[in-house]
Structures are given as structure tokens and as C-alpha cells.
Amino acid sequence: MTMSSPGKKLYTVLIVPLIIFLVLPIFAGSYLLHIMIFIFFYAYLSQCWNILSGYTGQFSLGHAAFLGVGAYTSSFLFSQYSLTPWVGMFIGALVSLCVGLFIGHICFRFGLKGAFFALATMAFAEILRILFLNLPSMGGAQGLLLPLRGNAPLLYQFEGKAPFYYIALIMMLVSVAVAYAIERSKTGFYFKAIHQNEESAEALGVDTKKYKVIAVGLSAAMTAFGGTFFAQYFMYIQPDNTYSTFVSFDIMLRSIIGGMGTVAGPVIGSFILTPLAEITRSFLGGKSGAHLMIYGLILMAVCIFLPQGVYPGIKKWLTRFQSE
């Protein structure tokens, strides 16, 4: 059985970049690897956000809460009990899952949706930020400095950036695979139905509250793995760099600009915004908030010219070009 022409094209489009990504650390310097790590990392986090907000339409402004829970859980267990973060990250994901289910149940139990749900998630992340700022056992405002063990792969610590590069790449690919599977599953169809018209979905027998809570829980648990990666990469965390609202904005903007509710959107958005953020910080590092101003200009341009995001806009243009 031979592969169809569109199938061959899709296979080529996917396999060529993957081969490049796999061999890149052999030739790339430390700074380029750092940028690529953050491209993959934010693509992963944005895909986690996309599972909730892109597919079900439940707009979250507080995903930093789940990132912080994952980071602090694994870091606390490692620094206090010497538990390897490879195990701690699953405990962090479980804790974050419980937090996500709690938030989802409370919000949807009282019918919060749209702007009210977004504000509730942002408020919860801010509550956690203030709480952890005042928890001495979690380092308070000074944060947690993780114990250094040198080159210790079993403790999620490595010499050089290449191992983190491959971990971040795997995380991104796993998140893409999960989103792809969801998009083609019955659960994914329910998510999309809720996004399109929640009342109509309920009328057709979809348990909308159940599937919205599932989306929050899955998104929260996946985001927590990113928190552990963040902690191990920098070996230091504190409330302002994990629970901050700006972290939540960084996560969601990739998906919005790339294309919400699509598998490729968060990845494309991260490849656009992450290098741009690094360039902006390099040239305008002394001007606080300059990169956020650039983000705002890009977001305005996308909303005006590509209201559904870059990926749907390109896909629509290519379809029109092929039909002519």
C-alpha cells in the first residue's frame, strides 16, 4: 500500500525539521541552544493551555498557578527529602491535577464562564503567589535554591544545555501528540462542541461540566511537568518567576498568535515570539517592559490581519492559492 501524495508531503514537512532539531546540538552554540530550549518549552506550555482554552473555549489567565505548583512540589521534595525530580515531577503533576480539578469544579459549579472564569483563574494564581511569598518553608520571597549535584542525570541535573534541549524537544512533541489525539477523539469533539455553543452541546446530551473539568485537570497536570523542567533548568525558583500573571500571559500569547484550537498554532506562535523576546531583551534590556510592548504590537497586528491566528491564516491563504 503506497502513501498518497498529500501524505508524503505531510511526512516530509514533519520529518525534515525533526531531523534538523535532532542534529542541531552538534553544531549549535550554548546561546542558540538556550533559545531553542525556550522555544520548545513555551510551545509545550502553550499547547497545555491550548487544550483547555483553545479547544473548550474556557479562557485561562492563571496557568502560572499550575506551573508554580509543579515547580515548587518537585523542588521542595528534592531539597528537603532528596527525592529525585524525575519522581517529584509526577507528584507535582498529581498535585496540580487536584488543584485544577478543584478550580474547575468550583468555577463551573457556580456557572463561571468567559471573562468571569478568566478572572477567577488569574485571581487564584495571584493568591498562590502571595501565599508562597509568605511561606518560610517554601523559601518565602527569596525562593528555593536547589542543591547542586553536578552532572547527575538521575537527579535531573546535567552539564551543558544539550540534555535539556532534548528533554524540551520531547516535551513539545508529546504535547503535540496529545493535542493531535484529543482533536481526533470523541472527547475532542465534545470540547469543540462546548467551544462552539455550550447550550446546544448540553441540549444534545453532552455533560459540559464534566468535560470542562477534564480539560482543566489535563491541562493543569501537563503544565506542572513544565514547572519541574523550569526549576531544574535554572536551579532556582521564587513566586514572582513562577506564579506571576506575566508568566500566564507569556504562555497564552503563543497560542493566540499561532492559532488557538489548532495543533500547530502554539508551536508556530512560540517560534515567532520566543526568539523575538530574546532579541528585544538583548537590544532593549535596559528598558523595562519593552518586550511586552512589542508583544502588544504583534498581537494587535495579528488581531487585525489574521484574527484566527498565523497558522489558520496561512492555511486559508494556501487553500485559496491552490484553488486558483
Contact 208, 23 (CB under 8 A): no
Size of the chain, expressed as the number of residues it contains: 324
**CA 211 to the chain's CA centroid:** 20
Cell numbers of 106, please?
Answer: 468550583
What pLDDT score was predicted for residue 1? 44
For residue 41, pLDDT beyond 90: yes
Domain at 33-323, CATH from 3.40.50, 1.10.3470, 2.40.128, 3.30.200: 1.10.3470
- Pick the range with the lowest mean pLDDT from 34-48, 71-85, 93-107, 300-314: 300-314
Tally Cβ neighbours within 10 Å of residue 186. 8
The model carries a pTM of 0.92
Sign of the dihedral through C-alpha 194, 196, 202, 204: negative
Please give the helix or strand (H or E) that residue 142 lies within, else none: none
d(CA 128, CA 312): 35
Single-letter amino acid, residue 255: S
As a whole number, mean pLDDT of residues 234-239 equals 93
Reduced to 3 states (helix: H, G, I; strand: E, B; else coil), residue 157 is strand
Query: Which pLDDT score, from 0 to 100, does residue 8 have?
Result: 53
Question: What is the pLDDT averaged over residues 227-249?
Answer: 93
At 287 the pLDDT is 63
CA angle 177, 183, 187 (to 5 degrees): 115
Neighbour tally for 6: CB within 10 Å: 8
Determine the pLDDT at residue 13: 67
Residue 190 has pLDDT above 90, yes or no: yes
Task: Quote the cell numbers at residue 261.
Answer: 484550537
Mean pLDDT score, 123-140 = 92
Residue 3 is given by DSSP the state P
Mean pLDDT of the chain: 88
Strands (E), the chain: 144-145, 236-237
* Residues sharing a CB contact under 8 Å with residue 171, sequence separation 6 or more, in sequence order: 40, 41, 44, 225, 226, 229
Q: Output the pLDDT for position 323.
A: 59
Estimate the crossing angle of helix 30-49 against helix 5-27, to 10 degrees.
140
pLDDT, tens only, 60-116: 999 999 999 999 999 999 999 999 999 999 999 999 999 999 999 999 998 888 899
